Structure 1
Amino acid sequence: MTSTEKPRRLRPEKRRAIVDAARTTFGKLGYVRAGTDAIAAEAGVSTRTLYNHFPTKLDLFRAVFSEGAATVAAAFTERIDALPRAADTESTVLGIARALVSHRLDFPEHFAMARYADIEREHFPAETFDEWRTAGRQTVTRAVAARLDRLATDGQLTGADPTEAADQLILLIAGAVAFRQRPGVVLPEHEAERIVRTGVHTFLYGHSPR
């Protein structure tokens, strides 16, 4: 089947099996080394069935990558929405930071895919990353920026534009987790909490009213 042919409709359970198997395989091997035969076997379907819905390996990767980003972002937004509205500044920023850590640790296969995608980016068209950013990263940034904007409006934070402040907090927390996280190794809870508290302390030092 060529990439211009319309894929046949799969039963939802088969499509889910393929997507889950692909996420696991791409997360372990990356895009280049992962084979569609191995993904089909992991999913318990034939290669023909896989290609009926995803005409190329790139189509499969892009679908799994963008769907995973949307799922991760939705889970993060749910955590942010659950934070107490009347909490003090430090408690609110700590809650945001812990949500950032949790969403990375709860979806290790997605972030393993993201690591490989960054390394192997020459194999993907630019729109692959645009889809990922739109589905995931931008949603997370907007959710963080909205909570920080509320604190700034109340006079509890000063400094950068809320989106810039969100980028800084995400880099301090998620960036530190990504630096320490290793494939197949769970980041210890005490180390995750240390990252949270160090990052929040640094963030508040730069953004708290003097």
Structure 2
Amino acid sequence: MTAPQRLTDRKRESIVQAAIAEFRDNGFEVTSMDRIAARAEVSKRTVYNHFPSKEELFAEMLQRLWAKATAQSEDIYRPGVPLREQLRDLLNTKMKTLGDSNFIDLARVAIGATIHSPERAQAWVSRLNQREETFTIWVRGAQQDGRLKDVEPGFAASQIHALLKAFAFWPQVPLNEPLLSAEKQQSVVESALDLFLCWYEIPANPKPV
């Protein structure tokens, strides 16, 4: 019973990898399920058995690339651990995604495809927002522990995302600038930490007024 499952998993992985290459090389509109099947060396029926549509396959790829670099334990917020250390870990894992050429290539394809279909864009953004919920949960945990100011958690999470994406996403996706070096990534992360914690962190021993 286990061997067929392993074969199914291998076929699914082949389909995903073939689709990544096809979308990257040819864009969303030109890529077809036939081309993906041929590149994966499987039948078109096998592709549809795993993914009911091209839109679903593309969304799955984006989500998988995101999940690969942002997997976290269930205990996202850690009481007693310095906020900077915790947040640095979260930002570094996010930077792994933003520094992944496959993710950036597919994001570029996605933005091009969504120009012609706002509905499609909403579906993809919804998928990715589910992955960014990690930061919102972390902010909420730090607030409940009395270590961050009272602010809407989703708003604060969006701010910290924006601090990274301003340097490690938007220049690369529409403008085709090179990916950040490891040194530049760390500089962006540390600067984002300075700005975020300077505004939101509650000092452990605040000075009396």
> TM-score surpassing 0.5?
yes
Aligned equivalents of 2:15, 2:177: Cα separation in 1: 21
For residues 85-144 of structure 1, the C-alpha deviation after alignment (integer angstroms, 9 at most, x for no partner) is 5321222222221121113324x3234222221222144461x3344334332232x211
- The alpha carbon displacement at 1:185 in A equals 5.0
2:157 is matched with which residue? 166
Aligned equivalents of 1:80, 1:111: Cα separation in 2: 27
1:23 and 1:110 in contact (8 A); partners too: no
- In structure 1, the gaps of 5 or more residues are 1-9
For residues 129-170 of structure 1, the C-alpha deviation after alignment (integer angstroms, 9 at most, x for no partner) is 344334332232x21111112222223221421111111111
Q: Does 1:20 align with 2:17?
A: yes
Distance 1:15 1:97, change over 3 A: closer
2:53 is matched with which residue? 59
Aligned equivalents of 1:104, 1:85: Cα separation in 2: 28
2:77 and 2:142 in contact (8 A); partners too: no
**Corresponding residue to 1:201 among 194, 197, 202:** 194
Between the aligned residues of both structures, percent identity stands at 20
**Corresponding residue to 1:129 among 111, 121, 143:** 121
2:15 and 2:36 in contact (8 A); partners too: yes
1:70 and 1:135 in contact (8 A); partners too: no
Aligned equivalents of 1:163, 1:22: Cα separation in 2: 32
Query: Given residue 189 of structure 1, which amino acid in structure 2 is its aligned partner?
Result: A
1:104 is matched with which residue? 98
2:91 and 2:189 in contact (8 A); partners too: yes
Alignment RMSD, CA only? 3.3
- The alpha carbon displacement at 1:193 in A equals 0.6
Q: Structure 2-normalised TM-score?
A: 0.74
- In structure 2, the gaps of 5 or more residues are 1-6, 204-209
Distance 1:85 1:25, change over 3 A: farther
Q: Does 1:187 align with 2:184?
A: no
1:104 and 1:111 in contact (8 A); partners too: yes
Distance 1:175 1:44, change over 3 A: farther
**Large movers: runs of 4+ above 4 Å:** 35-38, 79-85, 182-186
Q: How many residues align?
A: 194
2:77 and 2:138 in contact (8 A); partners too: no
Query: Given residue 101 of structure 1, which amino acid in structure 2 is its aligned partner?
Result: M
1:66 and 1:131 in contact (8 A); partners too: no
Between 1 and 2, higher relative CO (CA 8 Å, sep ≥ 6) is seen in 1
Q: Structure 1-normalised TM-score?
A: 0.74
1:78 is matched with which residue? 72
